[in-house]
Amino acid sequence: MLDAKILRDRPSEVLSIYRERLFDDAAAELAQSALSLDDKRRNLLQAADELKAKRNNASQLIGREKDADKRAALIKDMESVKIEIAGLDAQLTETEGVLDKLLLQLPNLPDPEVPTGRSDAENSVVRTEGKLFEFAFAPKPHWEIGESLGIIDFDRGVKISGSRFYVLKGAGAQLQRALISWMLDVHLDQGYTEIYPPFMVKEICLYGTGNLPKFGENLYRDAEEDFYFVPTAEVPVTNLYRDEILDGEQLPIRHVAYSACFRREKLAAGRDTRGMKRGHQFDKVEMVQFVRPEDSKQALQGLLSDAEAILQKLELPYRVIRMCTGDLSFAACEKFDLEVFSPGVNEWLEVSSCSNFGDFQARRAQIRYRPGKDKKDKPRFVHTLNGSGLALPRTVIAILENYQQADGSVRVPAVLRPYLRGREVI
């Protein structure tokens, strides 16, 4: 959530950022409405405070007044003041409720170092790592490889669940499970603590991470209970510390979690329908960090490096993309993507987004820390970060397409063989 104080103290700057850096006129209009409501809130608060001071002074006079008639007159005068105060308090509560809803719809402000751009077309390639695989034959897409090897069954996935679902079987299922276990182990060696979170969360958790209210149409939910299926493990892991004040000596806190992820994926008809590239359900290993504000920019680079290590160990060619302002997520103030090259589909596929949210999520979820050992120290909001380490479907795609051989088989990357009972080829 955007700090209302920033909006109040620097309104022209915030409105300019929304219009000229994020190219989001709707956000600018919401911010303008929030400013007006904030002015109204402060005026109501001032008026209510003045009346409450008047009431308190009158109460003291009533207490000192000995004459019964005069006491009765003072008490009668205060009845109208009490009614006015109640009316102002009701208006204040209503105004604050509407203001809070507006603030929840405002996107985070980009870090000053983030390049300005309107869309993903203006993202920049920071660097490319690894060599593209060379083939003496035309590389096949993963859906042809998977079907010919009998390790991916698209038809039965559609039969039991519908479009954008598939079944992994045999070595395909084992490859998926091996990747999850291996990636978790790599991140544990990097210093993360593993979490196995629930895959369903309360609505308030999605407000905390910024998935609600803006992206409700992309979420799956239980129709009768207050449960949402998680779109990523970022949601339950970030909310582990919701409404808590952490000891500053605990920071940084670094967690890694595997979860199934569920997203509605409302896309244009026919887009990315072949294969496993986009589905309503997929697996992902997610890294989440809670750090002191002064450490978050450095933490983002460390998070990016931790995600890159997975691709490096798999010996897959990839590139690092710096997102421009127009392609930042709603909650991020700075973001880098990792894209791996898949020769069968001839595309760079995003397998990780590494983001710094500043205090945006912490403010929504009320995650704070005490800077010093003195309990009188005023708590501050932590900064949160998260990054995929990695998203499974596209990592599987990259392995199948890059490690395919002329006879239709697929070599298993060396680091995964111990997790596949020594299997070298699928």
Q: Which residues are catalytic?
A: 263, 278, 350, 353, 394
Token pair in block for residue 240: 């582990």
- The DSSP letter of residue 426 is -
Residue 45 identity (one-letter amino acid): L
Backbone φ and ψ of 388, nearest 5°: -75, 140
Closest CA to 317 of 411, 392, 426, 401: 401
C-alpha–C-alpha distance, residues 305 and 99, integer Å: 39
Task: List, as one string, the DSSP characters of 74-123.
Answer: HHHHHHHHHHHHHHHHHHHHHHHHHHHHHHHTSPPPPPTTSPP-SSGGG-
CA atoms 211, 215, 218, 219: torsion sign: positive
Task: List, as one string, the DSSP characters of 155-171.
Answer: HHHHHHH-TT--EE-TH
C-alpha–C-alpha distance, residues 369 and 380, integer Å: 5
Closest CA to 296 of 382, 388, 210, 193: 382
Task: List the Cα angle 306/312/316 in 5-degree steps.
Answer: 130
Task: List the Cα angle 295/296/298 in 5-degree steps.
Answer: 75
- Look-up: residue for tokens 């990016």? 304
